[in-house]
Structures are given as structure tokens and as C-alpha cells.
Structure 1
Amino acid sequence: MADNFSTSASRLAGLVPLILGWTPDQFWRATPEELTGLFRSLDGHVMGGATALPLDQSTLAILKEAFPDG
């Protein structure tokens, strides 16, 4: 069991920065549920079998204005 976890964690720790742009600290602070949700959304899959559409530029601009990162 530990070998499966460590192998999977190592693989994800290498992929997440490339795919999501996260730092190692952000990766290790994330919960398995958060990672699962993110990868499902990237795959176009969400709960209930519906597909998620990609975020368009205008919606992203609205979200950035409403929730500035500082």
C-alpha cells in the first residue's frame, strides 16, 4: 500500500506543476478530493456525468475582476 501511495504521489508531484502551475507547497497542501476535482474538470467530467465546458476569456476576465488575487 505504501509503495502505491508513494509512487502515485511522486508521479502527481511531478505532473501537477506542469499541468496546473502549482508550487510543490501548493501540491502537498491540497487534499486528494481537490486534486481529483481538478483533474476531472480538466478531463471534461463533472459529477453526474455532465461535461464541463472550458472557461472562456470573457468569463475569466469577469472572475478576475470579482476576485482579484492582489
Structure 2
Amino acid sequence: MRAAAGGRVQPFPWEAVMHAGLCRLRLVPAVFWALTLREFFCVAGGFSGRGAKFSRDRLEGMMAAFPDG
């Protein structure tokens, strides 16, 4: 397969996507295969922003709201 500009199109990374969906996210196969690519992108955190991190205050607030045991 060739790209419009004459370059080579990379194959879709099915192995990585399947590993993320089935192993890391623990989606059942029926749910994984029913997702569109956009839905998978969202489920996998695609809209969360790169490098987005909790502040210490937010983490402590969540720990207070949802204590362990």
C-alpha cells in the first residue's frame, strides 16, 4: 500500500491495540471488537492529554473522599 505523497503507509498496530484493550484495559472481547477506533481512543485515555497529572491537593482530596478499607 502506498501513501498519496508516495511514502509507504504503516500497517495498523493491531497487536498493540489488542494488548491495550484486552490485557491492560481488561475489556471482554465482545466489547473490544464492538468499539469504533474513536471509542477505543477515548477509552484508552486519548483525550486526557499527554502528561496530565494529578496535583498533590487533588490526590489528597481523592484519598480523603475514597479511603482504602
Bin of the TM-score, shorter chain as denominator length: 0.3 to 0.5
Greater RCO, CA 8 A, separation 6+: 2
TM-score for both structures, normalised by structure 2: 0.46
